[in-house]
Amino acid sequence: MDEDDRQREQNGEDSLFPTRSGSGSASNRVIVTVRELSGTPKRVSVLVGGVARRRVATLLATQALELGLAPGVPWTDKLATIAARMERVNAAKAMAMRRLASRARSRAEMLEWLVSKGTDTQVATEAVERLAEIGLISDTQVVEDERRRAVDKGLSDRALADRMASRGIRTHAHSEDPPAPLSSEPGDAARALEIARSVLSRRPIDPADVNVLVRRVMGILARKGYEEDLAREAVVAALRERGLRLDQAFDD
């Protein structure tokens, strides 16, 4: 708040809402002005008191309207409690929005982060839900981002599901549907075969080195989340395409 704002608050100028009857009361529990903050037209400052005025809340203009705040309205304990909670939720939302600037977050991730920063769990939950309502937090967007990464890296459906679980998509009570398999892309078997072909095509295969190469490809597929049997089938198929006998590949 700049110096002009402070002076106007003291003078009771530029009240955003009309004065109610009885606003001339000298009680320090009566609202004397509700005014827009300079440079932040969606936020208002609420002052109470007579000669010695004090600011009791800074809220969104819509919140002040919702509470019916205006000059002449008594500043009750109930209003103070509600406004204080709104301020805490607004602060949590501001923290969350700064964090969202780097990348999309799931509801569970954002809730956990806010709580880790000292925000009350109920306040954090309300802040997350408000941001989700306007699309700034979306589990669906997180799922789509992870699906694209999975396709780019050749990950299995199981690896994608594990990644989603680590981001709270499956376990959080208010999350959207968990990720379906990558139905628009090749299935696990096709992707595993494609990876095996790619690795085997990078250099000529010496029959004497087949077992070493097979273990290498199996290890790559395992790290990408493919089951051992499926990975083995993919390697066998890729070797067949290269004209290698199965006993050459898996002979101990």
Edge-to-edge, what's the strand order for the sheet holding 40-48?
31-37, 40-48, 54-60
Q: Is residue 17 domain-shared with residue 61, that is, in the same domain?
A: yes
199 and 226 in contact (C-beta within 8 Å)? no
C-alpha–C-alpha distance, residues 17 and 213, integer Å: 76
Determine, yes or no, domain membership for 100.
Answer: yes
**Among residues 43, 75, 107, which one ends one of the domains?**
75
Cα dihedral 39, 44, 50, 53, rounded to 10, equals -60
For the chain, what is the domain count? 3
Taken in order 175, 177, 181, 182, the sign of the CA dihedral is negative
- 158 within domain boundaries: no
Rounded Cα–Cα distance for residues 187 and 151 (Å): 11
- State the alpha helices, DSSP H only, in the chain: 3-11, 61-67, 77-100, 107-116, 121-133, 139-153, 157-166, 188-200, 210-223, 228-241, 246-250
What's residue 105's pLDDT?
A: 93
CATH of the domain at 103: 1.10.10
CA pseudo-torsion sign 5, 6, 7, 10: positive
Instruction: Return the axis-axis angle of helices 121-133 and 77-100, rounded to nearest 10°.
Output: 60
For residue 7, tell me if it sits in a domain: yes
Residue 143 falls inside a structural domain:
no
Per-residue DSSP letter, 70 = -
Would 213 be classed as within a structural domain? yes
Q: Which of 27, 42, 75 is the last residue of a domain?
A: 75
Query: 93 and 117 share a domain?
Result: yes
Note whether 232 and 214 are within 8 A (CB): no
97 and 68 within one domain: no
Query: Does 64 share its domain with 98?
Result: no
DSSP secondary structure letter of residue 208: G
Residues 8 and 45 in one domain: yes
Report if residue 160 sits inside a domain.
no
Q: Are residues 7 and 57 in the same domain?
A: yes
| Residue 194 maps to a domain | yes
194 and 240 share one domain: yes
Hey, which residues does 81 pair with through a beta bridge?
A: none
Determine the structural domain holding residue 238 and report its residue range: 188-250
Question: Quick one: 46 and 18 in the same domain?
Answer: yes
Strand-pairing partners, residue 35, are 15, 45
Q: For the chain, how long is the longest CA-to-CA vector?
A: 98
pLDDT at residue 171, rounded to an integer: 38
**Of 110, 196, 187, the residue nearest 156 (C-alpha):** 187
Last residue of a domain, one of 133, 150, 167: 133
pLDDT means per 10 residues, the chain with 252 residues, are: 51 48 55 88 88 89 94 94 96 94 92 96 96 91 87 83 87 42 61 82 71 81 83 82 62 46
Which tokens hold the place of 241? 């395409």
Assessment of whether the complete model's pTM goes beyond 0.85: no
The upper half-sphere exposure of residue 224, i.e. CA atoms within 13 Å in the direction of its Cβ, equals 26
**pLDDT score recorded for residue 78:** 95
Specify if 177 maps to a domain. no
